[in-house]
Amino acid sequence: MQKFSAFSLARQAVGRHLGWRPQWRSAAPKPSYDIIIVGGGGHGLGAAYYLAKQHGLRNIAVVERGWLAGGNTARNTTIIRSNYLFEQSSSYYEHALKLWEGLSEELNYNVMFSQRGCLMVAHTVHDVQVFKRHVYANRLNGIDNEWLTPEETKAFCPPLNISPNIRYPVLGAALQRRAGTARHDAVAWGFARAASDLGVDIIENCEVTGIDRDPSGKVTGVQTTRGPIRAGKIGVSAAGHSSVVLAMAGIRLPLQVNPLQALVSEPVKPAFPCVVMSNTIHAYISQSDKGEMVIGAGTDSYVSYTQRGGLHIPAHTLEAICELVPDFRRLRMLRSWGGITDNTPDRSPITAKTSVPGLYVNCGWGTGGFKATPGAANLFAWTIARDEPHPINAPFTIERFRDGTLIDEAAAAAVAH
């Protein structure tokens, strides 16, 4: 792997940048591997990297049915935070946030992680009560969060309209200063590059069509569009399609898949200093490094694998944002897109062993998967390598839905994203 530094950039500039090599190897599938990771997004690539880096395993393949990071990794709005209510959730996301803080250095790849802060804006008395509860719970768990008055909120994010006469007046906000954003494709590319350098095979355009098992029920490999591949362990990290893949092994996951829409404006000069989220109007907004306003809304209510949704959802979001940030009323929207979210009944993820020996799953992240990328990958790798969960992800089993030990972030997370 070529190392990036100021010196290497200067050296390549002298050579007219003709000396750069491909960032990762484009591998053909071998007959067998020790471990196969299904899903070439941030979570899958990260899990392969940590399996190789921290657990010393090298005979690993990541199989992706399309192109690298072409699913939800490419379709999210890149918000990173850890201010969830329950201790189990906040510990998981805080683990991820701490990894984010050193990820660029570890991967020798700039993931463009920007800790610009995240404001969760309150519009009603109920919002105020809920967010203050978040603040107190987070502080008890050692996670930064603080309550701001409307005036303090305005000082932190000057474009916000705090007039009491608007439809959704700002009554205050919870602020996590360590929260922020990162570049989604850079994260995937960084993990792919580092994993490939450690010997991991990354195989694109290789869709899994079946899971093979021996008479005892243990997995023995996968059937793919590029032929059968044997493996002793299989980790599935395929977001909304995880239930489709697990069904090939006879496992029914408690997942519901809904579309989620987002859009960006034309690029402008720096005008929005942080991330702002609103539960009441189901909207969130930040400014990318390219200058675009990145805007997201709530999920569409219907179940679908289509990567598009109803026009009324973003229309309602834009109406509210134009009232909250009047300066943006004349901005033109540049493009919009949709993704699919894999939602569990309690809106918390599953990172666990399954009832099938040798088969593991990381799914159910809903709209919060990107922020957990390095943490989920790290803990998924631990679970696969050791055949047991790490203490942080131990509560996030499939069996909790049978036993009633739910981690109900559906209402507690303030907004799903």
Q: pLDDT tens-digit profile of 276-285?
A: 999 888 889 9
CATH number at residue 302: 3.30.9.10
Does 172 lie in the same domain as 130?
yes
**Residue 208 sits in the same domain as residue 240:** yes
- Domain of residue 33, residue span: 25-78+184-254+346-403
Instruction: Give percent of the chain above pLDDT 70.
Output: 98
The per-residue pLDDT for 106 is: 97
Contact 337, 213 (CB under 8 A): no
Check residue 415 and give its pLDDT. Answer: 47
Q: What is the CA radius of gyration of the chain?
A: 22
Is the confidence at residue 414, as pLDDT, over 50? no
* Domain assignment present for 219: yes
Same domain, 237 and 362: yes
Q: Are residues 53 and 30 part of one domain?
A: yes
Give pLDDT tens digits for 186-224. 999 999 999 999 999 999 999 999 999 999 999 999 999
Q: Which of 343, 376, 394 is the last residue of a domain?
A: 343
| Residue 330, in any domain of the structure | yes
Q: Is residue 414 part of a domain?
A: no
Same domain, 260 and 299: yes
pLDDT attached to residue 351:
98
Looking at the structure, do residues 168 and 208 belong to the same domain, yes or no?
A: no
pLDDT-derived band at 412, boundaries 50, 70, 90: low
How far from 320 is each of 130, 280, 313, 371, CA to CA, in Å? 21, 10, 11, 25
pLDDT tens-digit map of 367-388: 889 999 999 999 999 999 999 9
Are both 206 and 335 inside the same structural domain? no
Q: What's the CA gap between 274 and 81, in Å, rounded? A: 12
Burial 166-198 (b: 16+ CB within 10 A, else e): eebbbbbbbbbebbbbbbbbbbbbbbbbbbbbb
26 C-beta neighbours (distance < 10 Å), count? 12
- 49: domain CATH number is 3.50.50.60
pLDDT, mean over the chain: 94
Q: Is residue 12 one of the residues assigned to a domain?
A: no
pLDDT tens sequence across 52-101: 999 999 999 999 999 999 988 989 899 999 999 999 999 999 999 999 99
323 in a domain, yes or no? yes
164-189 residue pLDDT tens: 999 899 999 999 999 999 999 999 99
Final residue before a domain boundary, out of 343, 362, 381: 343
User: Do both 43 and 174 map to the same domain?
Assistant: no
Check residue 306 and give its pLDDT.
Answer: 86
Share of the chain above pLDDT 90, in %: 87
How confident is the model over 122-164, as pLDDT tens digits?
A: 999 999 999 999 999 999 999 999 999 999 999 999 999 999 9
212 Cβ contact list (under 8 Å, min separation 6): 219, 220, 221, 222, 223, 228, 230
Together in a domain, 198 and 272: no
The pLDDT, as a whole number, for residue 182 is 97
Residues whose CB is less than 8 angstroms from the CB of residue 164 and which lie 6 or more positions away in sequence, other chains included: none
What is the C-alpha to C-alpha distance for residues 385 and 377, in angstroms, rounded to an integer? 12
> Would the pLDDT of 41 be above 90?
yes
Domain contains 274: yes
What is the count of structural domains for the chain? 2
Please provide residue 9's backbone torsions phi and psi, each rounded to the nearest 5 degrees. -65, -45
Residue at a domain's end among 343, 360, 379: 343
194 and 338 together in one domain: no
